Amino acid sequence: MSLPPLAVRTGRAALRASLEDLPGGSLVAVACSGGADSLAVAATLAFVGRHAGWRTAAFLIDHNMQAGSADVTQRAAQQCRDLGLESIVVKQVDVAQGPAAGGPEAAARTARYAALDELAREHGASAVLLGHTIDDQAETVLLGLARGSGARSLAGMRARKGVYRRPFLTMTRADTEAICAHEGLSYWTDPTNVDVDGPLRSQVRGRVLPLLDDVLGPGITSTLARTAEQLHEDA
């Protein structure tokens, strides 16, 4: 029997390492948006969780900020069911509007984490998995540099903070897409993520990082993520 693709095997190993402290019977949930990153984590959790003896769940947050968001959420929920995750929870949130909210991205993030915090408490989750990748980490570091942030902010996202864990923080966005392809998953692409004239993070993703790759050579994403790791240790 042939081995699964490298991305699949790497993802499974990364998720096991991220959760190695959890005993059997623990509830592990994935925060799933329907995008490639979180669906890849969901598929990996479904596989690894069966062998580890964890109870598994998917928490899906509908921000109701784009037309058709409910349909996107329901399709993602169905795919999580098909993967074999045991508990599927969908929650709609109200996202604050106006300048005080810090812009739509910040407001959506605040509402999302508040909802995930609540769901984790309600269901007794030992861990909530997030789908952030090394690409997200590099974008976070660049945005921090643009703001003139200090070392703690430039250290980027942590692999583990409270109930939240990011098992794929050393993997690429391309890896998560490969996992979805292997599992036969159809993922949603947020149009704001690919709009190079859209939100600042999208411009960093679509313009700045490709330019840095051209000028400084390939591998800038890994370099920025490695800088974040070193700063995290220093901080």
**Residue 131 confidence (pLDDT):** 98
Give the sheet arrangement for strand 160-161, strand by strand: 87-92, 55-62, 27-31, 127-129, 164-165, 160-161
CA dihedral of 128, 203, 193, 198, whole degrees rounded to 10: 120
Closest CA to 173 of 205, 144, 128: 205
Could you give the CA distance from residue 50 to residue 234 in angstroms, rounded to a whole number? 37
What pLDDT digit, counting tens, does each position of 118-146 carry? 999 999 999 999 999 999 998 988 888 88
Provide the 3-class DSSP secondary structure of residue 99. Answer: helix
Q: Residues of the chain with pLDDT > 70: what percent?
A: 93
At residue 180, does pLDDT exceed 90? yes
Report residue 47's pLDDT band, with 50, 70 and 90 as the boundaries. very high
Paired with 91 in beta bridges are 61
What pLDDT digit, counting tens, does each position of 59-116 carry? 999 988 888 899 999 999 999 999 999 999 999 998 877 555 567 788 889 999 999 9
At residue 209, does pLDDT exceed 90? no
Q: Which range is least confidently modeled, 9-18, 144-153, 168-177, 217-226?
A: 144-153
At residue 21, does pLDDT exceed 70? yes
What average pLDDT does this structure show over 166-179? 97
Q: Using the 8-state DSSP alphabet, how is residue 207 labeled? A: I
State the pTM of this model: 0.90
- Residue in this structure with the two tokens 């109870």, named with its chain if needed: 55
3-state helix, strand, coil in the chain (%, to 5): 55, 10, 35
Could you give the CA distance from residue 165 to residue 31 in angstroms, rounded to a whole number? 10
For each of the domains in the chain, give its residue range(s) and CATH number, in order of start. Answer: 6-234 (3.40.50.620)
